[in-house]
Amino acid sequence: FSFIFKIDISNGGSSRDLYYHWDYIKALNENLKIILENNHHVNNTYPQHFPLHHIIISRFNYLIIDQKNYLNFFFIFSLFLPVIFYFCLDNRFPEIDYKKKVFISSLVYFLPNYQASSIWGNSHITSLFFFLGSLYFLINLKKNDKDKKVNLNIFFLVFFMACAAYTRQYYVIFFPYLFISIL
């Protein structure tokens, strides 16, 4: 309903973010080297957020042609976030009934921040995908605790958490916990 009528339940914050970030995405599509410029956020009024989300989106020309393409794609992409959350729940709690896990994971659809971010193409959804990916591999690592050799779970755990932190910088706070878990 909110997507069809373009209702911004964040009191205008998410829709303003879209227009603020859209110019940055288009500029990165034309020239990726602007990331290396000193103070490019001050000189060109680009956002100060870490640019991974913007870089990923800017590489798909179909999404850059029209803002509506981007919003439609991102909304459909966002619908899969609870699916990833379900896989994390299923991996961690295999003994819980299927219907309960589906119910818990579908509660994400009702969160106001999720709704605003998915409708307006916010980078928070991208970082949540990366964060859930790292949690999935953390769960795998803890399940295979008997196997002490270095495995791909550690690599993917750190990789996805680094991507989450490079998309939204506040995910960096989870790195100490992850490194303690790995050790």
φ/ψ (deg, to 5) at 164: -65, -45
Q: Which ranges in the chain belong to alpha helices (H)?
A: 2-5, 13-30, 40-43, 52-58, 61-65, 67-78, 81-92, 98-106, 112-119, 123-143, 152-167, 175-182
Mean residue pLDDT of the chain comes to 84
Instruction: Give dist(CA 47, CA 68) in Å, integer.
Output: 21
C-alpha–C-alpha distance, residues 126 and 53, integer Å: 7
Residue 3: per-residue pLDDT: 67
Residue 29 has pLDDT above 80, yes or no: yes
Q: Per residue in 31-87, pLDDT tens?
A: 877 777 766 665 666 666 678 888 899 888 888 888 889 989 999 999 999 999 999
Region 110-126: mean pLDDT is 86
List, in order, residues 6 or more apart from 173 with CB less than 8 Å away: none
Average pLDDT over residues 14-34: 78
Give the pLDDT of residue 147.
Answer: 62
The mean per-residue pLDDT over the stretch 131-136 comes to 95
Higher pLDDT, 116 or 75: 75
Give pLDDT, residue 44.
62
